[in-house]
Amino acid sequence: MAKYDNSFTDELRQRLSLVDVISRRVPLTKKGQNYWGCCPFHNEKTPSFSVSEEKGFYHCFGCGEHGDIISFTMKSENVDFKTAITELAEMAGLKLPEIKQKSQQQIEKEKTYIDITEQAAQIYQNLLYSESGREALEYIKNRGFSDEMIKKYRLGYAPKNNIISSKFSGIKTEKLVSTGLVRIGDYGPYDFFRHKLMFPIFNAHGQIVAFSGRSLDGSEPKYINTSDTELFHKRQTIFGFNFARDFIHRQNRSIIVEGQIDAIQMQVHGFPETVAPLGTALTEDHIAILCKSNRNITFCFDGDTAGQKAAMRACLLVLPFLRDNSDVKFAFVSGGKDPDEILKKQGTSAMQKIIDDAMPLIDFLWQSVNKNYLTQTPSGRTQAEKFLKDCISKIKDKIFQNEIEQEYNKRKFNEWHKWSRKTNIINIEMPNIVDRSTNILKSIVQTYPELSEKYVEFLSSLNISFDEESEKTDLSLKDAEDYIKKLQLKKLLDRLNNERKEFLSNIKNDSEENKNKLKLLNDKIQEVTNKLKLFNE
């Protein structure tokens, strides 16, 4: 551990307010001589974390954590003494003594890199509001971005020509290439990003270190990112983290979504603790970075098959980081939508409900195991138990690991090993084909004969006589058609659930063929369920 003169650490304590430093991470309220808040080192609802500005220390009466401004920075950010001192010195405006400096060559190299990316961002920003950037500007404004949002996140436009190569002609080519903005081709240097909507990528200190470019002509891939450089590594970079970092501490959690636009829209619509992986699958490095800030994470993915797979991958990655005070959940956006669409069409309250209804990790893992293994058979249960055991073994906190194992043992006994089992069938509240529905359908057919032609196959399958006269419906054409669609989907869902129930009651083994058939049924049921949910939103 680096050693510093006591007078230097004393000066840090003197210059910096303990309350100011801690309140960046923990909301504090003054009561009497001290300030109080909920402890950041363990989960609690009633504040027991006391901060004494006069004495210069904090103390939690719940878990016993105690220390000063330096120990708080080390513990709350999970950093070593040297890193904590460095951060506090920057806050205090003090120069660190006896710090091994980078070579002048390295300093100049990094400065040149940042200067280039900063200037490039400014060029892209200016071009977005030019005639050449009109298409990109129209696109992003149609996605609900205001001028203030564009300015805050420094969005821009990379034109079709080699703007960067020409603008930086006075800089050595290798320096441009080192930033990932320029590449060398058969005919010399050329811009890597061309005709793209540009999203700058910031490091944790707010410096631009790379870019993500979105296609505007429908070409694939939809997004391309700067290749890894000396100052930028995709596997270790989280989009939006520089904006979300302090809010992750204040909100006592982070939210992870799948893309840049989703992350930005979430941040500006009441979820400032939201981030996204950058053009790549979530990695262990991403989880490690977030857990240094807070071990409470809500993953928010699409509810389709791809989203479920992404959620399972995230679940397996986060298991080694779990502690008894972790709160990891999984939220799903159904109906083929994403957070951006939910926020624009249904508002913040709808998105808040999705986040509030997020499923705890222990339930998500249990649900996934029951969905992916034939637990109705001995061999299927054996495979499922092996998978669960492997997952539980990843948890490093042994006491917590044992608690999770006992919880799953109870569930296995109650749901797998009893003689009587209930099939997990998804139920959606929908009207049955009874008198009321029959009358409504008759009214719809009388009012909108074009719908009877469009849905003749379905309506004829209901064995309803539409010959009798009935009153015209008050429903609009759209609402009338939606009513028929809901009934059609409900009937399909009932049939699929019955097929699943019959299949599970008749299977004799857990062959690959049976697994595939069950998966197809589950996916189809989920697809129909998602479509039904759209009508209720």
Contact 257, 266 (CB under 8 A): yes
* Mean pLDDT over the full length of the chain: 84
Q: Which residue has the higher pLDDT, 244 or 376?
A: 244
Q: What is the assigned CATH class of domain 6-92?
A: alpha beta
Pairing label, strands 196-202, 208-215: antiparallel
Which of 233-242, 416-425, 471-480 is predicted least confidently? Answer: 416-425
Domain ranges of the chain: 6-92, 104-232, 235-367, 373-415, 435-536
Read off the pLDDT of residues 305-355 as tens digits, 9 standing for 90 and up.
Answer: 888 888 999 999 999 888 877 899 999 998 667 898 899 888 999 999 999
pLDDT confidence band for 181 (50 / 70 / 90): very high
User: If you write DSSP's letter for every residue of 341-358 in order, what string do you get?
Assistant: HHHHHT-HHHHHHHHHTP
CATH code, 104-232: 3.90.980.10
Q: Tokens 């015209």 identify what position?
A: 472
Of the ranges 106-110, 320-324, 355-359, the best mean pLDDT one:
355-359
Instruction: Specify burial of residue 308 (Cβ count, 10 A radius: 0-12, 13-18, 19+).
Output: buried
What is the mean predicted confidence (pLDDT) over 198-219?
91
What confidence score (pLDDT) does residue 7 get? 59
The span from the CA of 126 to the CA of 128, in Å, is: 5
Q: Is the pLDDT of residue 488 over 90?
A: no
Q: Which residue type is seen at 114?
A: I
What confidence score (pLDDT) does residue 432 get? 47
The answer to whether the pTM exceeds 0.85 is no
235-367: CATH, from 3.40.640.10, 1.10.150.20, 3.40.1360.10, 3.40.220.10: 3.40.1360.10
Q: Is the pLDDT of residue 496 over 80?
A: yes
Closest CA relative to residue 87, chosen from 49, 18, 77, 165: 77
Closest CA relative to residue 22, chosen from 8, 41, 45, 44: 41
Read off the pLDDT of residues 251-260 as tens digits, 9 standing for 90 and up.
Answer: 889 999 988 9
User: If you write DSSP's letter for every residue of 117-155 in order, what string do you get?
Assistant: HHHHHHHHHHHHTSSTTHHHHHHHHHTT--HHHHHHTT-
Structure tokens at 150: 């564009």
